[in-house]
Amino acid sequence: MTSAAEQLSATTLLRFATAGSVDDGKSTLVGRLLHDSKSVLTDQLEAVTTASLSRGQDTPDLALLTDGLRAEREQGITIDVAYRYFATARRRFILADTPGHVQYTRNMVTGASTAELAVVLVDARNGVVEQTRRHAAVAALLRVPHVVLAVNKMDLVDYAEHVFASIAEEFTSYAASLGVPEITAIPISALAGDNVVDPSANMDWYGGPTVLEHLETVPVSHDLATCHARLPVQYVIRPQTADHPDYRGYAGQIAAGTFRLGEEVTVLPSGRTSRIKGIDLLGQAVDIAWTPQSITLLLEDDIDISRGDLIVPSGDAPPTTQDVEATVCHVADQPLTVGQRVLLKHTTRTVKAIVKAIPSRLTLDDLSQHPEPGQLVANDIGLVTVRTAEPLALDSYADSRRTGSFLLIDPADGTTLAAGMVGDSFATTATAAVQTSDSIEDSGWDF
Amino acid sequence: MMALADVQDTDSPYALSHLDALESEAVHIFREVAGEFERPVILFSGGKDSIVMLHLALKAFAPAAVPFTLLHVDTGHNFPEVLEYRDRTVARHGLRLHVASVQDYIDAGKLRERPDGTRNPLQTVPLTEAIQEHRFDAVFGGGRRDEEKARAKERVFSLRDEFSQWDPRRQRPELWQLYNGRHAPGEHVRVFPLSNWTELDVWQYIAREKIELPEIYFAHEREVFKRSGMWLTAGDWGGPKGAEQVETRLIRYRTVGDMSCTGAVDSEATTLDAVIAEIAASRLTERGATRADDKMSEAAMEDRKREGYF
């Protein structure tokens, strides 16, 4: 293999989500990113042009690139999350393109759950509106590590610096109060192409990165040294062949942190301990492995471990509990009620559970709490307490998005009812690295 | 520069390359299915996506055997080189292969040949009947979201009803890496471990892992004729006809499917590197370049998927 292919494959992957209200120009931004990064190919553009013409439009409607379903194209709205792929020389991108309608909060939750960055779009003429606050709240709730505020349609406000500055300031202080860890504000015109892929000639007062430049350089890996290591056991590999008569490996994807050869580990919920005898990284023996690698662990002792167990370093085990307090986003059409029997899926373990209480429902617009709503319906976000039939080893969602999250499932028909996040809804202390006006000056921003 | 933006994650010793990240995710999906389902099956056509799927499954369970059987829906118009590759691969890994044959259905009068000779849409019935007959509860497909706009909406775990139908408006939201595979008897789940891969990712992975492919993916001389703007392989299956002229051209295939609707591209790429360079420079999508069946209408793929096609 030549270096060309190797170089291409050595790029990293960034998963991000876009959120914006219906007319904020989200589809145009997505279309612009795909188009200007040369990710829209000739036949796709031809198909869009043909479809646009047959609808009586005289210019290609870039939204048709992303609205893939018959119903979406008929109605001209995005109903469901779509995933888009594009690449630059520096990085590969998976874009969760989420609908902006109020009634589709669950779709933004879906997109944000795996995103490392969220782009929140604002129309420069309207500034921060209710929907903007809702998007910021969902990003904060899902603990998306990086948030980009894209102030769009700057061309319609004469590229005025003060318009951008006041929107950026209002959004930043709101998002920071929710505990959003990092916020980057970028003035753009998706339609004209300002600061999306290419720097704008119309806003020389802006010294920050373009949207694409930021996407290419934002760090995606966390400081693993401080993470609690977690391996949910997915499957036990036992070849029982002549070559491997005694092989017994615990396969799983490392949910957080690192595991090392020789390390003492505890298996939850049983609490049994052993030591790591071997780590197989898909057929290759290694001394150390880290998230999100899929590995197989071999232990010194033959102890009872099966799917659903959690392997952790012995000195760093999460508490086990049968009483789960969490924030949930309700994603199903049927409601979630107090007393309801459900299944709770946490990592690789699914247990029976009962909804003991719904203490409050959160109104995302103003973050007010509505006490004892009795039930949650589609797109509601609320606090719940759930009692499980078996103990679970739970982290707080603030510590680990992977071992602090769960699904509630209807046992009757398998419907996914709710997405749950263990612990506090929003970061209580603003330890965030939000750019203050000082750091903005320091970083060469000249409002 | 901004406070954090100048930290390059590629400098981190813990950064995974995009191929490693995609591989790890796909392996996680295979193991989830092995852990949660009774009778999974991998759709295996001998095409590059299913070859990569099988390679990932082999890695996911090593040193044990792949705990799944394979299923091939044979249109009766498959490339002989691909069938030969299929059988050789199955034998090499000691796997079990089920074949559902479109030709058998036509011979038995259960399916009728279409006037345009395209057999791709005819695969749906043998596929769904094989799923019912063998009571498969999880069916792995090599579909990728980058292939087509309806596929971009597809979940990794996609529930199908007892008629194998896909209802895009009633999909389960897919949150974090928590895949919900619950299904009622008679229903099954289609599973797409390569959802987040692009055509280029697949080729780069093939190069990195040194995976053997059927020769038709590399440039070779072949007798072809032009139909609906595409170069089709001449043969007993139904071409050339009328004014269509056979000529020998240097071509290769970007996708492998039914000979009646899979077009070849002019190419001099005889090596993996040359193929990768060619795809990276191509201004046409894989399906736009070589698939006739997607061009039948604006929502052709969505409509076929609703009926049970992949």
B257-278 per-position pLDDT tens digit: 888 888 888 999 999 999 988 8
Residues B43-53: tens digit of each pLDDT = 999 999 999 99
Confidence of residue A214 (pLDDT cuts 50, 70, 90): very high
Task: Check A294 against B9: CB less than 8 A apart.
Answer: no
* pLDDT value for A441: 35
Q: What integer best gives the mean pLDDT of chain A?
A: 86
Residue position matching structure tokens 């996914």: A416
Residues from chain A that touch B278, judged by Cβ atoms under 8 A, are: none
Q: Indicate whether B288 pLDDT > 80.
A: no
- What one-letter code names the amino acid at A116? E
pLDDT for the residue numbered B305? 67
- Please state, in angstroms and as integers, the Cα–Cα distance from residue A389 to each residue in A153, A354, A415, A416, A419, following that order: 53, 8, 20, 19, 19
The mean per-residue pLDDT over the stretch B214-228 comes to 90
Checking if the pLDDT of A101 tops 80, the result is no
The four Cα atoms A227, A228, A231, A232 give a dihedral, to 10 degrees, of -110
Which chain B positions have a beta carbon within 8 Å of A107's beta carbon? Answer: 173
How many Cβ pairs closer than 8 A exist between chain A and B?
253
Shortest CA gap B48–chain A (Å): 17
Chain segment B9-64, per-residue pLDDT in tens = 455 778 888 999 999 999 999 999 999 999 999 999 999 999 999 999 999 999 99
Q: Are A283 and A244 in contact (CB under 8 A)?
A: no
| CA separation for the pair B295, A411 (Å, rounded) | 41
Query: For A443, which of B3, B25, B196 is closest by C-beta distance?
Result: B3
pLDDT computed for residue B171 by the predictor: 83
List CB contacts (< 8 A) between B305 and chain A. Answer: none
Average of per-residue pLDDT across A238-250 = 92
Q: Which of residues 105-164 of B touch A (CB under 8 A)?
A: 145-146, 148-153, 159
| A294 vs B: CB within 8 A | yes
Question: Which residues make beta-bridge pairs with A357?
Answer: A385
- Of the spans A170-184, A251-265, B294-308, which averages the highest pLDDT? A251-265
B28 contact residues in A (CB cutoff 8 A)? 234, 252-253, 294
Which residue bears the tokens 């792929």?
Answer: A85
- Residue of chain B minimizing CA distance to A252: B28
Q: Which of residues 278-307 of B touch A (CB under 8 A)?
A: 280, 282-285, 288-289, 298-299, 302-303
The reply to whether residue B302 touches residue A70, judged by beta carbons under 8 angstroms, is: yes
Q: Does A367 touch chain B (CB under 8 A)?
A: no
**Sorting pLDDT into bands at 50, 70 and 90, what band is B2?**
very low
- How many residues in total does chain B contain? 310
Question: A56, A26 in Cβ contact below 8 A?
Answer: no
Q: Are A340 and A354 in contact (CB under 8 A)?
A: yes
Nearest in space to A330 (alpha carbons), one of A137, A98, A120, A105:
A105
Closest CA to A122 of A193, A16, A25: A25
Q: Is the model's pLDDT at A447 over the cut of 50?
A: no
Looking up tokens 């899929």 gives: A294
Residue B171 to residue A435, Cβ atoms within 8 A: no
> What does the pLDDT read at residue A20?
75
A312 or A51, greater pLDDT: A312
Instruction: State the nearest Cα–Cα gap between A155 and chain B, in angstroms.
Output: 25
d(CA A202, CA A204): 6
Cβ distance A1 to B195 less than 8 Å, yes or no, reads: no
Give the nearest chain B residue to A415 (CA atoms).
Answer: B172
pLDDT digits (tens, 9 = 90+) for A155-202: 999 999 999 999 999 999 999 999 888 899 999 999 888 999 999 999
Q: Taking CB atoms and an 8 Å cutoff, what residues of chain B touch A69?
A: 150, 153, 168-169, 299, 302
Pairing of strands B264-266, B247-253: antiparallel
Question: Do B178 and A444 count as a contact with CB atoms less than 8 A apart?
Answer: no
Residue B308, pLDDT score: 65
Looking at B93-185, list the stretches that DSSP marks H as alpha helix, in order from N- to C-terminal side: 102-107, 124-133
Is 50 exceeded by the pLDDT of residue A2? no
Residues B2, A106: C-beta atoms closer than 8 Å: no
CB of A210 within 8 Å of a chain B CB? The answer is no
More confident residue, A272 or B75: A272
Flag if A73 and B1 touch (Cβ within 8 Å). Answer: no
Strand partners of residue A123: A152
pLDDT at A429: 42
Percent of chain A with pLDDT over 70: 87
As beta bridge partners, residue A349 has A346
B8-34 in b/e form (b: 16+ CB < 10 A) is ebeebebbbbbbbbbbbbbbbbbbbbb
Cβ proximity of B217 and B256 under 8 Å:
yes
Considering only CB atoms, which chain B residues are within 8 Å of A47? 288, 298
Q: What is the C-alpha separation between A39 and B199, in angstroms, rounded?
A: 12
CB contact under 8 A, A8 and B62: no
Asked if residue A269 has a cis previous peptide bond (ω within 30° of 0), the answer is yes
Does residue A386 surpass a pLDDT of 60?
yes
For residue B64, the chain A residues in CB contact (below 8 A) are 237-241, 244, 247
ipTM, 2 decimals? 0.89
Tens-place pLDDT, residues A292-350: 999 999 999 999 999 999 999 999 999 999 999 999 999 999 999 999 999 999 999 99
pLDDT above 90 coverage of chain B, percent: 51
Q: What confidence score (pLDDT) does residue B233 get?
A: 87
Q: Tell me which chain B residues have a C-beta less than 8 angstroms from the C-beta of A65.
A: 149
| CA A39/CA A62 separation, integer angstroms | 13
Task: Output A125-129 pairs: Cβ under 8 A, ≥24 positions apart.
Answer: A125/A153, A125/A156, A125/A157, A127/A166, A127/A167, A127/A170, A128/A167, A128/A170, A128/A171, A128/A174, A129/A21
Query: Whole-angstrom Cα distance, residue A345 to residue A406?
Result: 5
Distance of alpha carbon A230 from the chain centroid: 19
Average pLDDT over residues A57-86: 68
Cβ-nearest to B17 among A11, A84, A234: A11
Helix (H) / strand (E) element for A136: namely helix A130-141
What pLDDT was estimated at residue A68?
A: 60
| Of B134, B26, B116, residue with least CA distance to B71 | B134
Nearest to B233 by CA among B296, B290, B276, B148: B290
Using a CB-CB cut-off of 8 Å, the residues of chain A touching B25 are: 253, 292, 294
Q: What kind and span of H or E run contains B244?
A: none
Would you place residue A26 in the very low, low, confident or very high pLDDT band (cuts 50, 70, 90)? confident
CA angle A406-A410-A415, nearest 5°?
85
Residues 193-222 of B with CB under 8 A from A: 195-196, 198, 200-201, 204-205, 207-208
A226 CB near a chain B CB, below 8 Å?
no
Residue A111, pLDDT above cutoff 80: yes
Dihedral sign of CA atoms B100, B101, B105, B107 in order: negative
Is A443 a residue whose pLDDT tops 50? no
pLDDT at A434 > cutoff 50: no
The residue among B254 and A118 whose pLDDT is bigger is A118
CB pair distance less than 8 Å for A69 and B168: yes
Average pLDDT over residues A370-384: 93
Average pLDDT for B93-112: 92
Quote the pLDDT of residue A130: 86
Report the distance separating Cα A328 and Cα A376, nearest Å: 9
pLDDT in tens, B152-176: 888 999 999 888 888 877 788 899 9
Closest CA to A434 of A147, A129, A216: A147
Instruction: Please state the rounded mean pLDDT for residues B220-241.
Output: 86
Q: Is B63 exposed, middle or buried (0-12, 13-18, 19+ CB in 10 A)?
A: middle
- Please report residues of A whose CB lies closer than 8 A to that of B59: 282-283
Tens of pLDDT, residues A34-50: 877 777 777 777 777 88
